[in-house]
Structure 1
Amino acid sequence: MKTTFLRIPFLLALCVLFSCSERRPIGRKADARYIEDSSEKGLVNIGKINSQDFTRAANKLLQDLFVKGALTKAPDQPAILHVGEVRNDTQTYFDTDLLLQAIKRDLLASNRVRISTTDGFGKPTDQYAKEVRASV
């Protein structure tokens, strides 16, 4: 009986001690972290494509365009890039518009490209696209 009375305060003290300590995730949540797009570390899906694969491919495309000078070789400067409708023909959903917007943003920031966009065949999305087509 004496040992039971001694154990209860001891257990309560342990509970108070551990409940006041810093909380840290346990298990798989402890491994969760953000990874930069340019990093070679990341989620890998074998046999399945995901949005990270397309983001990496887009970043590689932009890097090649800038490094190899393809944009500076265009007959008109800045180069005119026509962007049409992009359709996701995979079984995995990801936002193709978000990916295209990121590519366009980086190209426009380089001041080496003017972008002409269309929304499907023959449907300009904005007045700028009409003006670019008229000047070509």
Structure 2
Amino acid sequence: MAGERGKAAAGTLDQIFSSASNGLILLALAVVSDAAEFGQLSVVFTVFAAGVGLLRGALGTPLLLVADRGLEYVRTQGRHAVAAALLAGLVVGAAIVAYGLADRDSALWVVGLGVPLLMVQDVIRYVAIAAG
């Protein structure tokens, strides 16, 4: 029972820190950019956050729900989830790169290059939580 409470507490803390870091990122972006740049960055950040949210619901939550089926099952499902996250990350990243390249003065396309890695990392977090 204590192990289950520890897992629940760790998951809750992970979500709190994840949400807090998103707010800090937006605050940092607001400080170093003008209004137009911040607007563009906000659009990109919103697209990224929506993509991560969809992956958490479609891939992360099901992983947590099968955690009681054993480590090998979680690993197998985790591999499929990571592959799906990489594919989704490439699609979202390509959209952000295209958006950034449309504005020749913008360096937003660089942000799009990191999106697949960040989405995969988020799903791996759920694999780790489900694996205990």
- Work out whether the TM-score is over 0.5: no
- Which one has the bigger helix percentage? 2
The TM-score, its normalising length taken from structure 2, stands at 0.37
The TM-score, its normalising length taken from structure 1, stands at 0.36
The one of the two structures with greater contact order (alpha-carbon pairs below 8 A, sep at least 6) is 2
**Larger-gyration structure (1/2):** 1
- Which one has the bigger strand percentage? 1
